[in-house]
Amino acid sequence: MTDSSLNPMLRPRSIAVIGVSREPSKWGYKVFHNIVSNAYKGKAYPVNPSTPDIDGIKCYARVGDILGEVDLAIIIVPASAALQVVDECGAKKVKALCVITAGFSEVGPDGAVLEEKLKQKAASYGMRMLGPNTMGFVNNSISLNASIVPRMPPKGEISFITQSGALGLSLVDWAIGSNLGMNCVVSTGNKADVSEADLLEFFEQDKGTWTIAMYIEGLKDGRKFMEAARKVKKAKLAIKAGVSQAGARAAASHTGSLAGSDAVYDAAFRQCGVVRVEGVEEMFDAAMALSTQPKANGNRVAILSNGGGAAIMASDACERRGMKVPELTRHTKAGIARLLPAFASVKNPIDTVAKSDYDIYREALKMLIDDKDIDCVMVIYAHAGFTSAAEPARAVIDALKEKYPKPVVACWMGGREVNAVAGMFRRNRVPFYPAPERAAEALSALIRYNGFLKEAGK
Amino acid sequence: MMLSELEAKELLAGYGIPVNEGRAACSAIEASEAARHIGFPAVVKVLSEKIVHKSDLGLVALNLCNPSDVGRNAERILAKAHTIDPDAKVVVESMAPQGTEVIVGARRDPQFGPTILFGLGGIFVEVFKDVSIRVAPVDRAMAMDMIDDVKGYAILKGARGKKGVDIEALADIIVNTSKLMMEQDRVMELDMNPVMAYENGAMAVDARALVRD
């Protein structure tokens, strides 16, 4: 449990959904249905004066009619009715708001005025507010789906803060498809009150969150964000979209034109330990490595592969990203050579020449983890059809159960058989990638993140 | 509004940033008088809010060794500048010895507030945009990191038998620029271009500042 002011919002014991509907295509139906159809343990009250019941549950005409306490009110009424509903919530002593209703600052100046009123009203009652114009949030650790997300993502350690609701939705679907575990997904909407900075503070204390991923279009208060991010010891990744040159165009000086908003975001993220990633795939690839692997002490990578081509591509991919693929110590080389046919290469990358037996992979990986001149390991298996993809995968999982002081990422290349192995890797917390470049990119993010830790002296 | 070079340099000097001495002059006589006071070799440059690209327009004269050269060039520059800006003056400065040119700048970013920029001058900044940026406040260690971050760092450190420059002095300028931006709310943008970096010391030879009206 955390002692954050966002507890009543993101870990509510009771929820009123104001503006429910019996019409399954409407958000007013979906949100309530999502809360009650998952295993949420708290109380959920539907509110709508013109709906007698929803899914057989009695509706309340007003939030004030609810007898028990209400931690969180989720508001899905039209924008014009929102202010009055907030007053009713204030009178009921509701602790927090999640305003899904749209039609505020995102639609123009009139909406912005309304949003400002909404914000001040919520503040006057001491209620924290998510949104408006949010798709809600998911908190897997209390089995709560307070959003329009149709299905819960698998449980995991990654929490995701997204400024775009639609992107959040598609990413949850993607997470389900790729078996990527998530703890919370929060859509920030217009950020009238709760911003990334507040959520960073919440997730820092949230035990279920190990890695924080963010999708950011623009920050309202960059300094507040940096201050919050600096305090967060967990891994942080961000996509900053909208690489705008508008600021640079308006600049009067040389400095102005060189220090465009994108360059400043780069600098700011770096200074507060946020790893900037370019896209969604890269972000989740990196999050998978960061949320499961120990720290890397440096950028020296050992590569173990059953095929030369994949090994060379992996070396290139690592070196292009500023990592080193150095010679192994004599002791390691001799140890691995004993496992392999005489013609195999025990230089780094190691090419086992089509050998992918359980013992070879397991023993070789253990020796690489033991090599003091190596900081992380990439294990590659290229599926040939006549070998088993599962056998070396089991070897990696078993070796890591014994020895786990260094980051290890797996790259299993192939189709159907490899997909079957993916679940095994995920269950055993081994980050797994379908191509060497993606594994290298994830390792690079892990190393960059550890660089921040070192710089910050943590 | 844009501060004149002299005003900008006064602001910088107030924060311990080394600048070369300069005086404004409205005529050839005033200019040669100023040069006598400052010493030779001297530089004469146009001083105008309206004229940005001084060298491109031929409104800078370098390495002038006697009062009559200063007077002649001041007259020429004033005449040419007055066609663009009737209020233009000239500034007479001591000629800074040639060093390695770097640029130090600052800008108040709408989201992050004061940010500081460092880069190598000349083509490095014009063509390669080889700069490093930090959100202020920038302390000494961070300033050293910024300098280390530019791709041209090898040039500053000294390469191919050439001696390196005074990196500590550059770090001082960066830290003091950060301090200035944190304390002077009205400064929106600041350009020191170039800063001459020497084996010992560094000096802002040209400066511009955009301040809130």
More confident residue, A418 or A316: A316
Name the residue facing B106 among A221, A223, A255 (closest C-beta). Answer: A255
With beta carbons under 8 A apart, name residues in chain A contacting B134: 267, 271
**Can you give the pLDDT at residue A142?**
96
What residues contact residue A454 under an 8 Å CB cut-off, 6+ apart?
A: none
Name the residue facing B103 among A219, A251, A254 (closest C-beta). Answer: A254
Closest approach of chain A CAs to the CA of B135, in angstroms?
A: 6
Binned at pLDDT 50, 70 and 90, residue B213 comes out as: confident
Q: Using CA atoms, how far apart are residues B79 and B87, in angstroms rounded to an integer? A: 11
Decide if B134 and A271 are in contact by the 8 Å CB cutoff: yes
Decide if A259 and B103 are in contact by the 8 Å CB cutoff: no
pLDDT digits (tens, 9 = 90+) for A372-424: 999 999 999 999 888 899 999 999 999 999 887 899 999 999 988 888 898 89
Please tell me if residue A218 touches chain B, with a CB cutoff of 8 Å.
Answer: yes
**Could you tell me which residues are beta bridge partners of residue B89?**
B47
Q: What integer is the mean pLDDT of A67-87? A: 97
Decide if A258 and B115 are in contact by the 8 Å CB cutoff: no
pLDDT digits (tens, 9 = 90+) for A213-232: 999 988 989 999 999 999 99
| Residue A147 three-state SS | strand
Q: Do domains A7-289 and A294-456 have the same CATH topology?
A: yes
More confident residue, A12 or B84: A12
Q: Is A134 exposed, middle or buried (0-12, 13-18, 19+ CB in 10 A)?
A: buried
Q: What integer is the mean pLDDT of A80-95? A: 97
Minimum CA–CA partner of B145 in chain A: A455
With beta carbons under 8 A apart, name residues in chain A contacting B135: 222-223, 226, 264, 267-268, 271
| Mean pLDDT for all residues in chain B | 92
**Can you give the pLDDT at residue A122?**
97
Q: Using CA atoms, how far apart are residues B175 and B182, in angstroms rounded to an integer? A: 11
Torsion, CA B104, CA B96, CA B100, CA B6, rounded to 10: 10
Which tokens in the block code for residue A172? 């949850």
Please tell me if residue A247 touches chain B, with a CB cutoff of 8 Å.
Answer: yes
More confident residue, A254 or A87: A87
pLDDT digits (tens, 9 = 90+) for B20-41: 989 999 999 999 999 999 999 9
Name the residue facing A264 among B103, B109, B208 (closest C-beta). Answer: B109
Q: Using CA atoms, how far apart are residues B53 and B60, in angstroms rounded to an integer? A: 10
Sheet holding A235-240, edge to edge: A144-147, A136-139, A182-187, A155-162, A211-216, A235-240, A274-277
Q: Using CA atoms, how far apart are residues A82 and B158, in angstroms rounded to an integer? A: 65
Q: Using CA atoms, how far apart are residues A43 and A248, in angstroms rounded to an integer? A: 51
Closest approach of chain A CAs to the CA of B193, in angstroms?
A: 9
> Where along chain B do its domains lie?
21-94, 100-211
pLDDT exceeds cutoff 70 at A248: no
Share of chain A above pLDDT 90, in %: 76
pLDDT digits (tens, 9 = 90+) for B166-194: 999 999 999 999 999 999 999 999 999 99
Q: What integer is the mean pLDDT of A3-20? A: 95
The answer to whether the bond into B18 is cis (omega within 30° of 0) is: no
Architecture of domain A7-289: 3-Layer(aba) Sandwich (3.40)
Q: What angle do CA A265, A268, A270 make, to 5 degrees?
A: 105
Please tell me if residue A219 touches chain B, with a CB cutoff of 8 Å.
Answer: yes
Please tell me if residue A244 touches chain B, with a CB cutoff of 8 Å.
Answer: no
For residues A267 and B109, the answer to whether their CB atoms sit within 8 Å is no
Q: Is A140 exposed, middle or buried (0-12, 13-18, 19+ CB in 10 A)?
A: buried
pLDDT exceeds cutoff 80 at A454: no
With CA atoms as reference, report the closest residue to A154 among A447, A446, A426, A442. A426
**Can you give the pLDDT at residue A256?**
66
With CA atoms as reference, report the closest residue to A4 among A301, A259, A207, A285. A207
> Where along chain A do its domains lie?
7-289, 294-456
With beta carbons under 8 A apart, name residues in chain A contacting B133: 258-259, 263-264, 266-267
pLDDT exceeds cutoff 70 at A253: no
What secondary structure does DSSP assign to B17-57, as a single string? Answer: --B--EEEESSHHHHHHHHHHH-SSEEEEEE-SS---TTTT
Max mean pLDDT range (A99-103, A251-255, A283-287):
A99-103
More confident residue, A1 or A411: A411
Which stretch of A2-11, A139-148, A321-330 has the lowest confidence by average pLDDT? A2-11
pLDDT exceeds cutoff 80 at B212: yes
With CA atoms as reference, report the closest residue to B169 among B137, B132, B197, B205. B197
Pick among B12, B53, B101, B112 to test the A interface (most A CBs inside 10 A): B112
φ/ψ (deg, to 5) at A176: -65, -45
Decide if B111 and A220 are in contact by the 8 Å CB cutoff: yes
**Can you give the pLDDT at residue A455?**
61
Binned at pLDDT 50, 70 and 90, residue A458 comes out as: very low
Q: Specify the fold of B21-94.
A: Dna Ligase; domain 1 (3.30.1490)
Q: What integer is the mean pLDDT of B44-72? A: 89
pLDDT exceeds cutoff 90 at A250: no
In the block, residue with structure tokens 């050293």 = B144
Q: What integer is the mean pLDDT of A259-274? A: 89
What secondary structure does DSSP assign to B154-169, as a single string? Answer: HHHH--TT-----HHH
pLDDT digits (tens, 9 = 90+) for A112-167: 999 999 999 999 999 999 999 999 999 999 999 999 988 999 999 999 999 988 88
pLDDT exceeds cutoff 90 at B130: no
For residues A257 and A251, the answer to whether their CB atoms sit within 8 Å is yes
With beta carbons under 8 A apart, name residues in chain B contacting A253: 105, 107, 189-191, 208, 210
**How many CB pairs lie under 8 A apart between chains A and B?**
80
For residues B128 and B137, the answer to whether their CB atoms sit within 8 Å is no
Closest approach of chain A CAs to the CA of B106, in angstroms?
A: 6
Binned at pLDDT 50, 70 and 90, residue A257 comes out as: low
Decide if A261 and B103 are in contact by the 8 Å CB cutoff: no
Restricting to B residues 3-32, those with a Cβ less than 8 Å away from any Cβ of A are none
Name the residue facing A264 among B112, B189, B208 (closest C-beta). Answer: B112
Please tell me if residue B100 touches chain A, with a CB cutoff of 8 Å.
Answer: no
Q: Specify the fold of A294-456.
A: Rossmann fold (3.40.50)
Please tell me if residue B45 touches chain A, with a CB cutoff of 8 Å.
Answer: no
Look up the CATH number of domain B100-211: 3.30.470.20
Q: What angle do CA A303, A307, A311 make, to 5 degrees?
A: 35
Q: Using CA atoms, how far apart are residues A184 and A213, in angstroms rounded to an integer? A: 10
Torsion, CA A419, CA A422, CA A423, CA A427, rounded to 10: 180
CB neighbourhood size of A66 (10 A)? 18
Name the amino acid, one letter, at B9: K
- End-to-end alpha-carbon separation of chain B, Å? 6
CB neighbourhood size of B77 (10 A)? 25
With CA atoms as reference, report the closest residue to A408 among A453, A362, A454. A362
Which stretch of A249-253, B24-28, B40-44 has the lowest confidence by average pLDDT? A249-253
Share of chain B above pLDDT 70, in %: 100
Which stretch of A182-186, B29-33, B162-166 has the lowest confidence by average pLDDT? B162-166
pLDDT digits (tens, 9 = 90+) for A285-295: 999 999 889 98
| Mean pLDDT for all residues in chain A | 91
* Interface predicted TM-score (ipTM): 0.87
Residue A41, by phi and psi: left (phi above 0), alpha (psi -120 to 50) or beta?
alpha
Please tell me if residue A253 touches chain B, with a CB cutoff of 8 Å.
Answer: yes
Q: Using CA atoms, how far apart are residues A24 and A137, in angstroms rounded to an integer? A: 19
Q: Using CA atoms, how far apart are residues A449 and A237, in angstroms rounded to an integer? A: 9
For residues A104 and A111, the answer to whether their CB atoms sit within 8 Å is yes
